[in-house]
Structure 1
């Protein structure tokens, strides 16, 4: 059904190769001239193993004549279901191949003149018994696959060669970009839920950018992008859901890889991955060590219209962030018997951060007269540890193809931090020294059970229950130096001890029905959530309880084997997170003070899109029209006082609306050049009568990934991205342009790869914003000032990836 996935193995690639290859092989394909009205179709479902019912996703199906010449072929979908349409009456032979399993033949397939459909039922593949030492497969999966409610991005050799971690892969994915802090955005907007194998990424650590930067790229098999997720997925995330799917162990034997990167400014990385499977046991282990150093500059100009006369604040500063992190994963899975399997894993991460900044502050009259001036230097560090343990159980009911899964995950993390501020000025009242001590800890429990019932070969019912329990405590103590006592004394006015916990219980149901031309997936998700807020230092605590209903609907209409139309709708809810609710006052920059808001309410978003897709083996495109509407949107609001000091806090401001056109394009241009691109033209609006906000902006964005095959087995790649301006609560965030490039060469019979990468070649990744209100006008800039230049060596050993993608292991 998905022709774009026909490269999932060497056999599949040869079966579905071009006519030129057929001619070399001596295969004769006379044209079929039978009338289409007499043609029928063949359907069936392929499962892995002789008695389990795990779908054999993306198995290659070849339809042969009785003399073994090829007629046509297709690929099973994620559920193992395949359809071969437009088959002339006659006698045929079916051949099914999938990496790690014996080739399966289905003889005596008869398509009668009077029969419109030939149903082969369930076809079982037998696992290959031999333990392979090495497999070299030249095929590569199509990058983009369009499913009924998501886009599947296969992480191929080019993305891996130019990416060390999940963060670097994500920014190359269509519709995805990163903000200045490394948080993913979908269609230029934040509030994205990131999952890892269907589980919240917060189980790996509370700081998402650190989690993504420490997660090794070679563990990733694919990335599912859902701008209108079904009810099965998290109801949170106003912009959508990103699910990072890791590689699994299927084939017997051992395979793995080692990677080392050396970069300028002490940006280095080393990682390794090994997988072993024998009999009923499978083991996986991986590790990653990374050091990143970034320098940056910032500037701010703000005119203050309050007071007797207009004043101008000018800030200029530089800084340096150094991050060191470790990540380790150990997993084991055991097939208890033909119907039951269990797996367990442990993940550990440790990160250390050091930061330094210098900031000059000058306040002047518009005439240029200096009113105030001070310099502020900050030195700080933080140290965090995160541990998570996961257990998965799977039960297959072979008599009726029902599947029951259960997951339990517990995680905990601690972090400590220290910062010292030295503020110097000729004005004695502006000179001060301060210290900030931070202590944070968290615990999370995630329980999940799903039941899948294939009502028919074309219809599936899924139901599930989720429970998430989270708790967190943050202690922030600010101390000010007293010259008279020569001691640091606690400033209780800006110190804070904050406790937060929540209990979220969810149930969902989705129903999927597919026919030859139509597909529908409808779902409903009911969530009961309670948030407990304890402002310990103020002696105040309260709770918030709410019930939300999240419906989703996806419709598809197949035009032929490659082309389809789809219409999707989903309702999303964005609950305020602990950091948004924490009333702690951050005075790291005394001219720009930030705090949380414990009175925030959830934000609800309606998302809809209608799209078309046409993906073939050599490429295709997927245009769509989309609209997102949020009422009671959560965003940052900045106010200012008479002295020109700004106060930023999250608030429910009003409505946000975004609508426009988006498309992705992938194409193989000849034998040497492959291009993947995406772009969108959209309108963004933020309106709030209460906050006196009315911002509306047209914009455009796009990215381009180009891969060029050069002589001597060298491959070059280029990545260009422009994320256009968009309306924000009190102004406009300007566009951001990024250019990266890489060169790779395969060595040692394609077992090793040497690559050279350069990121932000033009040092153009500058984040600018313009804010305009009745009380102030502000322009700000933040930019990293050191580009990354690095060399990476990767070596692969043992057997290749179970998905049949030799270059992706």
Structure 2
């Protein structure tokens, strides 16, 4: 089992370790960039530039005409949207779901983002998006548990959501769609402040939390504690048919699943900031996530024979319990030097994660008659991530800015499962088809440099290059043996050009190269039996997907009104996708494969403004085109389709104390490798009454029309299928929020519920 100590286990790295000879080129980039001419210090201090540090929100600055790298603040009284040369930052202060809702609730109202009924997040139709917290990747937002974490974690400590569709080389290149950076609230006010909140919803849902901070000038201590209980009923209807080569007819399988799910989640965070002087800050932080999902399910499965007669009937009753825990420890050192934005930041962090799952199932075989079966399994996954990151920013002559840095990331994961199956009524023996051990080890060394320069006449440029060396080792011992290695060295360039026309008009063109690395679940070759008709397995031979992304954006603001138009295009090689294979006898295997190539593009429109002094709106729409080379998946040629989606938010300040909000979204049909996903939508309504500036009553209703469901269609020459998923997300919440200290607090938000418990 992996060691959960705080040490970096260098002895585990073989064949020269993780600092490899060819990485000497990488290691030389950062020192060379840092050794800028000493004459830079003799220059007058440069004006502040608007590319925010990964751990901080984009900053709004007042600047001189022609200094086009500065942030643009939209919407008058409150900075709802900020734009910078490489990102857009959306405040969630005005989102009436964010204070007491989940992170998924907040993301559903962000332009460019989509969250489906299972909690999976996509950016402009691409689910390969990296989610960070304060500029740092988090293990809880990776792999099979990401959707559950987003739907369980509270959003009340998130200040802004940064969307980077074309990040610069200073950012992690992981995620072909881009990056979502969740920026935490930072309380730097002197004295004490905090809040207490509680919400009660329908179907036994409830949540509560407390937050507090104290700042005496040199020391700032802050903490958060929240508890969330969600319940949910899930219904899945799956029908699949395979072509019978002998008769030319399709033979159908049918599966119906009903499950009652619950999840209890505790989130705790503690932080300490110490400023020994005005130019230095030392930060210590610990975050713990504890999730306890449970599920009771019933399945009914049928399959026909070639003549269309009923051939097999199976019923299954299952009980599922899981413990999903994560502890994140981090420390950072920030030192400011003479000159604007001249600083050194070093971060060291470790994440320890563990997932334990106990599963019991009874299987009743009625056609053809056979003895009942009992099945039990125990799953244990331990993960450890170590990250060392150093970033140096330095002002340069002619108001330019140089940024360079280094990253070391070590991932050490182990997966174990012991499954037992046999006749009911006796202790079942170990079943090799349900038992495996899988090790996943990855080391990433990266160095980058970016250079930002105003060119005059409203023009500016941000150029960068990131070099990465990756070493990956896989080992399926029990259940194999299968071993695989994948070592590669890649360069990821980026370029952003910007032109200010004046009068609030701006044009930005950008390019970046990105990568989507397969996850441990994608690579694990062990065949997991989901049910007698469906298996799932990873593919250890997967290669990373590489994407070239291009964008052209025009924005115009005038007072409180803001318009944004973006044209985008992405071309990917070796795209990673699900592929369903027919194994015969009514059994299907879902695995992962690399596509030959895919292309996508679209047009996105965003509009924010004020209709009357008390009525504001936020609207966005996206027309998305996707093309994939499906010749290796049973199709004769390439496949393509258009998807149209949109969202809207209407806010009405009825009186000084009463506030109404209406928000919703619509997502159209989306192309998949072997079919498509039909569209879905959601409408939410909320009301808030403020008794005082510090005490508020909130009443909300989620999915008012009951339209938030998903249907996935499988359509190939040899496989046909339709899977409908529906989760009981409709609900009503009633809650109170009480704030104290720290002056006037921002208005509390609405509770629109969470999502499906982790599976």
**TM-score of the aligned structures, taking structure 1 as reference length:** 0.81
Match of 1:83?
63
Q: 1:478 aligns with which of 396, 407, 419?
A: 419
Contact map agreement 2:236 2:256 (CA 8 A) in 1: yes
For the structure 1 residues 800 and 229, does the alpha-carbon distance in structure 2 shift closer, same or farther, using more than 3 Å as the test?
A: farther
Residue 388 in structure 1 maps to residue 328 in structure 2:
yes
CA drift at 1:493: 2.9
* Secondary structure class of the residue paired with 1:250: coil
Displacement of 1:643: 1.3
Further displaced range: 362-371 or 777-786: 362-371
Query: Following the alignment from structure 1 to structure 2, what is the Cα–Cα distance between the partners of residues 57 and 423?
Result: 56
Name the CA distance, whole Å, in 2 between partners of 1:445 and 1:161: 30
386-395 or 556-565: which moved more? 556-565
Q: Would the alpha carbon gap of residues 691 and 311 (structure 1) be closer, same or farther in structure 2, given more than 3 Å must change?
A: closer
1:142 aligns to what SS in structure 2? Answer: coil
- Matches of 1:81 and 1:641 in 2, distance apart? 61
Distance in 2 (CA, whole Å) between partners of 1:271 and 1:621 is 37
SS in 1 for 2:521: helix
Quickly say closer, same or farther: Cα 1:213–1:571, change in 2 above 3 A.
same
1:458 Cα deviation after fit: 2.6
- Specify the alignment match of 1:795 in structure 2: 738
Can you list the C-alpha shifts for 1:207-249, whole angstroms capped at 9, x where unaligned? 3234333433221111100111111111110111000111113
| Alignment correspondent of 1:764 | 707
Question: Which residue, 633, 636, 654 being the options, matches 1:691?
Answer: 633
Partners of 1:204 and 1:656 lie apart in 2 by 25
Tell me if structure 2 keeps the 8 A contact 1:800–1:806. no
Instruction: Judge conservation of contact 1:434–1:479 (CA < 8 Å) in 2.
Output: yes
Q: 2:120 is matched with which residue: 141, 160, 183?
A: 183
- Aligned: 1:553 with 2:495: yes
Within-5 A mapping of 1:468-617: 468-482=409-423, 486-514=426-454, 515=456, 517-537=458-478, 538-617=480-559
The alpha-carbon deviation at position 81 of structure 1 amounts to 5.7
Do structure 1's residue 238 and structure 2's residue 176 form an aligned pair? Answer: yes
Q: Is the contact made by 2:606 and 2:619 (CA closer than 8 Å) also made in structure 1?
A: yes
| Higher RCO, Cα 8 Å, sep 6+ | 2
CA deviations on 1:732-764 (whole Å, 9 max, x unpaired) are 11111111111111222x212211111111221
CA distance in 1, matches of 2:323, 2:288: 14
Change beyond 3 A, Cα 1:806–1:308: closer
Alpha-carbon shift at residue 142 of structure 1 (Å): 3.1
Task: Specify the alignment match of 1:755 in structure 2.
Answer: 698
Change (3 A) 1:531 1:245: same
Q: Match of 1:428, SS?
A: coil
Alignment of 1:342-491 (within 5 A): 342-364=282-304, 369-398=309-338, 402-426=342-366, 427-429=368-370, 431-456=372-397, 458-482=399-423, 486-491=426-431
In 2, the alpha carbon distance for the partners of 1:685 and 1:163 equals 39
Contact 1:204-1:388 within 8 A present in 2 as well? no
Q: Determine if contact 2:528/2:537 at 8 Å carries over to the other structure.
A: yes
Work out the CA distance in 2 between the residues paired with 1:148 and 1:569. Answer: 12
Q: Which residue matches 2:25?
A: none
The structure 1 segments of at least 4 consecutive aligned residues displaced by more than 6 Å after TM superposition are 43-47, 54-58, 203-206, 806-809
- Structure 1 contact 215–288 (Cα < 8 Å) conserved: no
Aligned to 2:203: 265
Q: 1:398, CA displacement in angstroms?
A: 2.1
1:710 counterpart residue number: 654
Aligned residue number for residue 783 of structure 1: 726
Distance 1:808 1:44, change over 3 A: farther
Decide whether the 8 Å contact of 2:402 with 2:450 is kept in 1: yes
- Pick which of 259-268 and 308-317 moved more: 308-317
State the Cα deviation string for residues 276-326 of structure 1 (Å, max 9, x = none).
111211111111110111111111222221253432212222112211110
State the Cα distance separating 1:181 from its structure 2 match. Answer: 2.7
After the TM superposition, which of the residue ranges 200-209 and 659-668 deviates more from structure 2?
200-209
SS in structure 1 of the partner of residue 300 of structure 2:
strand
Give yes or no for the alignment of 1:725 onto 2:662.
Answer: no
Partner of 1:674: 616
CA 1:217 to 1:501, structure 2 compared with 1: closer, same or farther past 3 Å?
A: same
Q: Summarize the Cα distance change of 1:474–1:507 in structure 2 as closer, same or farther, 3 Å threshold.
A: same
Quote the Cα distance in structure 1 between the aligned partners of 2:211 and 2:51: 25
Structure 1 residues 352 and 205: CA distance shift in structure 2, 3 A? farther
The whole-number CA distance in structure 1 between the counterparts of 2:662 and 2:147 is: 24
CA contact (8 A) 1:373 1:425 kept: yes
SS at match of 2:175: coil
1:248-287 counterparts in 2 under 5 A? Answer: 248-287=186-225
Deviation for aligned residue 1:201: 2.0
| SS of the residue 2:139 aligns to | helix
Match of 1:108 in 2: none
Quick check: 1:326 aligned with 2:278? no
Q: Specify the SS of the correspondent of 2:429.
A: strand
Please show how residues 33-182 of structure 1 align to structure 2 within 5 Å: 82-85=62-65, 140-160=77-97, 163-182=100-119
In structure 1, what is the Cα distance between the partners aligned to 2:275 and 2:204? 44
The answer to whether the Cα contact below 8 Å between 2:166 and 2:512 also exists between their aligned partners in 1 is: yes
Q: Is the 8 A contact 2:200 2:733 kept in 1?
A: yes
Whole-Å Cα distance in 2 between the matches of residues 161 and 762 of structure 1? 21
Deviation at 1:496, TM superposition (A): 1.1
Q: Distance in 2 between matches of 1:504 and 1:308?
A: 51
CA distance in 2, matches of 1:418, 1:193: 29
CA distance in 2, matches of 1:751, 1:178: 32
Q: Distance in 2 between matches of 1:204 and 1:186?
A: 15
Task: Answer yes or no: is 1:646 the counterpart of 2:588.
Answer: yes
Deviates more, 1:177-186 or 1:723-732: 177-186
- Larger-Rg structure: 1
Give the 3 Å change call, closer, same or farther, for CA 592–527 of structure 1 in structure 2: same
Q: Partner of 2:633: helix, strand, or coil?
A: coil
Q: CA deviation at 1:79?
A: 6.5
In 2, the alpha carbon distance for the partners of 1:358 and 1:464 equals 53
Deviation at 1:330, TM superposition (A): 0.4
8 Å CA contact 1:476, 1:584 repeated in 2: no
For the Cα contact (< 8 Å) 1:695–1:728, is it kept in 2?
Answer: no
Farther-moved stretch of structure 1 (280-289 vs 693-702) = 693-702
Alpha-carbon spacing, 1:488–1:763, altered in 2? closer, same or farther (3 Å): same
Q: Distance in 2 between matches of 1:395 and 1:487?
A: 62
SS at match of 2:724: strand
Alpha-carbon distance in 2 for matches of 1:356, 1:505: 44
> How far apart, CA to CA, are the structure 1 residues paired with 2:372 and 2:146?
36
C-alpha distance in structure 1 between counterparts of 2:724 and 2:326, whole Å? 33
Secondary structure in structure 1 of the residue aligned to 2:681: strand
Cα distance in 2, alignment partners of residues 598 and 462 from structure 1: 37
Summarize deviations over 1:624-646 as a string: whole Å, max 9, x none. 11111111100000011331211
Does residue 745 in structure 1 map to residue 685 in structure 2?
Answer: no
Distance 1:626 1:312 in 2: 41
Deviation, 1:725, is: 1.2
| Structure 2 residues not aligned, in runs of 5+ | 1-43, 68-74, 751-759
CA contact (8 A) 1:214 1:289 kept: no
SS at match of 1:601: coil
- SS at 1:498's partner residue? strand
Q: Distance in 1 between matches of 2:613 and 2:477?
A: 65
Larger CA deviation: 587-596 vs 299-308 = 299-308
Once residues 234 and 262 of structure 2 are traced to their aligned partners in structure 1, the CA distance between those partners, rounded to angstroms, is 11
Q: 2: distance between equivalents of 1:294 and 1:682?
A: 32
Match of 2:164 among 218, 226, 229: 226
